[in-house]
Amino acid sequence: MKLRNLFILAALLIPVGLQAKKGQPRTSGNPILPEFHADPEVLYSNQTGKFYIYSTTDGAAGWGGYYFTVFSSDDLTNWRHEGIMLDLGTSQVPWASGNAWAPCIEEKRQADGSYKYYFYYSGHDTKRDRKSIGVAVSDSPTGPFVDLGHPLVDQRPEGVRGGQQIDVDVFTDPQTGKSYLYWGNGYMAGAELNDDMVSLKEGTTKVLTPKGGTLQDYAFREGAYVFYRQGKYYFLWSVDDTGSPNYHVAYGTSDSPLGPIEVAKDPIVLIQNPGQEIYGPAHNSVLQLPGRDEWYIVYHRINKDYLLPTPNGPGFHRQVCIDRMEFNPDGTIRRVQPTREGVAPVKVKKPKK
């Protein structure tokens, strides 16, 4: 039986969450997905009324995974494997050969009331022999997706030396309806997307890398994520090496979706808890429940048996987790405590058909 088929069979054995003590609601448990996954992107679909997670398929030597899967949930606690939705090992993505990493997705309602899904990801560009960012489009959050046929971003911004074109994020500004793309490893870049969502608006690319910091606080590494709340644009990013126990999330804010970014006075959002054997919690996405000021952070942590400096696969044996994210009255983010319990089930109103 092929390795891919074995993975699918294993993924169908989804945990149903931790059983609670009498009188308490059960929780999702952490990790929430089976096997090894990383760089999770969470989406609430207004079309289906469900939650979805897209991720790097982990566990392959040298971060060599070549396809993306999608999981769905009605309540954030029970997750169903929906299958492979984009495969860089086939003709589905003609320009890339593998290293299917760190995806993101945006749901956009069309003028006729239908929905389209724009899935951004990085892969190894065979023509240029380097990492580039692609995009594929579907009418459904689970696919099938049709790739653009060539990279969307295949080079560093002007003036940037070093770093890879990976770790893409997409954000639609609720104030203007404009959409933006962010990416970079070693640097953070951002640009406005054209209305077609598959090309960048000429002349809008900016380097946004937060300046300064150390590996103990906010020195930028990768994994930018942007969201909007109460008049502020929040920028989250990952610090340190992806295989380090110290891999963690820091943040800053801005008055604009393209910066400049002001690093928070207390910039750490999420960091390891060795006492609970929780290491390297980072590379996150953020979920706001529809119509509520209720927020969740979805992230990966490193399996405790695969931390640096072990030679046994450091960095690519990661697991997806979820916890609540809360704010102080002044809008600053309270430091998230990574848990083994995860979150209780949530209920959202299903969209009208």
- List, by residue number, the catalytic residues: 39, 222
Which is nearest to 298 in space by CA: 246, 225, 244, 233? Answer: 225
**Residue 345, number of CB atoms within 10 A of its CB:** 15
